[in-house]
Structure 1
Amino acid sequence: MRPLRGLLVVPVALALLGPTTADSRPGPGAGATATADTVATADSFLPLLRTRGEVPAAALLADEKSGTRYAESGPDISRSDHFRAGSVTKTFLATVILQLASERRLSLSDPVERHLPGLVRGAGNDGRALTLRSLLNHTSGLYDFARDTGGTRPVTPVQAVRIALTHPPADRGRYAYSNTDYVLLGLVVTRVTGRSYATEAERRILDPLGLDGTSFPGSRTFLPSPHGRAYGTDGSDVTDLDPRVAGAAGELVTTLADLNRFYSALLSGELLPPRWRREMLDTRAAHGSYGLGLIPARLPCGVTVWGHNGRIPGSYVRTAATVDGRHVLTFRVNTTAMADPDLEPALLAAEFCPRTYWNEQAPNGDPGQQHSFE
Structure 2
Amino acid sequence: MGAVGLAAAAALTAASFTSPAAADAGVGHARTQEALDAAVKDGVPGATGQVDDRYSIWTGTSGVGDLKTGAPRSAVDRYRIGSMTKTFVATVLLQLEAEGRLDLDDKVDKWLPGVVEGNGHDGRRISVRQLLNHTSGIFSYTADPDFLERGFTEKFLEHRYDTYTPAQLVGIAMRHEPLFEPGAGWSYSNTNYTLAGMIVEKVSGHSYEDEIGRRIVKPLGLYATSVPRTASSMPKPSSRAYSKLSLAPKPTDPTHDVTELNPSAAGSAGAMVSGSGDLNRFYSALLGGKLLPAQQLKEMKTTVPVSGAGLITGYGLGLMKFEPSCGVSVWGHGGNIQGSASQAVTTPDGKHSLAFNFNGDWAGNSQAVIEAEYCPE
TM-score, scaled relative to structure 2: 0.83
The separation in 1 between residues aligned to 2:339 and 2:217, in whole angstroms, is 24
Give yes or no for the alignment of 1:297 onto 2:322: yes
Distance change >3 Å, CA 314–CA 63, structure 1 → 2: same
SS in 2 for 1:303: coil
- Identical amino acids, percent of aligned pairs: 43
* Aligned equivalent of 2:272: 252
Write the deviation string for residues 289-313 of structure 1: whole angstroms up to 9, x where unpaired: 3100011111111111110010000
The separation in 2 between residues aligned to 1:196 and 1:331, in whole angstroms, is 28
Distance change >3 Å, CA 344–CA 283, structure 1 → 2: same
* Aligned equivalent of 1:368: none
The separation in 2 between residues aligned to 1:100 and 1:6, in whole angstroms, is 34
SS in 2 for 1:89: helix
Q: Per-residue deviation at 1:336? A: 1.7
Q: Per-residue deviation at 1:11? A: 7.8
Write the deviation string for residues 225-273 of structure 1: whole angstroms up to 9, x where unpaired: 1111111124111111100120110000111111111000000000000
The separation in 1 between residues aligned to 2:10 and 2:74, in whole angstroms, is 29
* Aligned equivalent of 1:351: 373
* Aligned equivalent of 1:306: 331
Say which one has the larger Rg.
1
* Aligned equivalent of 1:161: 170
Distance change >3 Å, CA 85–CA 282, structure 1 → 2: same
The separation in 2 between residues aligned to 1:157 and 1:346, in whole angstroms, is 34
The separation in 1 between residues aligned to 2:34 and 2:284, in whole angstroms, is 23
What are the ranges of 5 or more consecutive residues in structure 2 without an aligned counterpart?
19-25, 66-72, 245-253, 308-312
Distance change >3 Å, CA 204–CA 73, structure 1 → 2: same
SS in 2 for 1:99: helix
The separation in 1 between residues aligned to 2:57 and 2:28, in whole angstroms, is 18
Q: Per-residue deviation at 1:3? A: 2.8
Q: Per-residue deviation at 1:6? A: 7.5
SS in 2 for 1:107: coil
Give yes or no for the alignment of 1:47 onto 2:24: no
The separation in 2 between residues aligned to 1:345 and 1:156, in whole angstroms, is 33
SS in 2 for 1:222: coil
Do the aligned partners of 1:318 and 1:331 also contact (CA within 8 Å) in 2?
A: yes
Q: Per-residue deviation at 1:147? A: 1.4
* Aligned equivalent of 1:207: 218
The separation in 1 between residues aligned to 2:341 and 2:101, in whole angstroms, is 34
What are the ranges of 5 or more consecutive residues in structure 1 without an aligned counterpart?
15-21, 23-36, 359-374
Do the aligned partners of 2:48 and 2:77 also contact (CA within 8 Å) in 1?
A: no
Matches within 5 A, 1:92-103: 92-103=88-99
Alignment-mate amino acid for residue 155 of structure 1: Y
The separation in 2 between residues aligned to 1:140 and 1:290, in whole angstroms, is 13
* Aligned equivalent of 1:315: 340
* Aligned equivalent of 1:110: 106
Distance change >3 Å, CA 95–CA 38, structure 1 → 2: closer
Write the deviation string for residues 50-80 of structure 1: whole angstroms up to 9, x where unpaired: 112x100011100001100001011231122
Q: Per-residue deviation at 1:196? A: 0.1
Do the aligned partners of 1:3 and 1:308 also contact (CA within 8 Å) in 2?
A: no
Matches within 5 A, 1:133-172: 133-148=129-144, 149-150=147-148, 151=151, 154-172=163-181
Write the deviation string for residues 298-349 of structure 1: whole angstroms up to 9, x where unpaired: 11111111100100001110011101110000111101232x5xx3333212
* Aligned equivalent of 2:51: 62
The separation in 2 between residues aligned to 1:144 and 1:65, in whole angstroms, is 39
Matches within 5 A, 1:1-374: 1=1, 2-3=5-6, 7-10=11-14, 41-52=31-42, 54-76=43-65, 77-148=73-144, 149-150=147-148, 151=151, 154-172=163-181, 173=183, 174-233=185-244, 234-284=254-304, 288-338=313-363, 340=364, 343-353=365-375, 358=377
Do the aligned partners of 1:141 and 1:176 also contact (CA within 8 Å) in 2?
A: yes
Do the aligned partners of 2:119 and 2:175 also contact (CA within 8 Å) in 1?
A: yes
The separation in 2 between residues aligned to 1:134 and 1:298, in whole angstroms, is 23
Q: Per-residue deviation at 1:40? A: 5.7
SS in 2 for 1:3: helix
Do the aligned partners of 2:321 and 2:332 also contact (CA within 8 Å) in 1?
A: yes
Q: Per-residue deviation at 1:167? A: 0.6
Write the deviation string for residues 149-169 of structure 1: whole angstroms up to 9, x where unpaired: 124554210011011011110
Q: Per-residue deviation at 1:47? A: 1.4
The separation in 2 between residues aligned to 1:345 and 1:351, in whole angstroms, is 10
Distance change >3 Å, CA 225–CA 326, structure 1 → 2: same
How many corresponding residue pairs?
329
The separation in 2 between residues aligned to 1:314 and 1:7, in whole angstroms, is 20
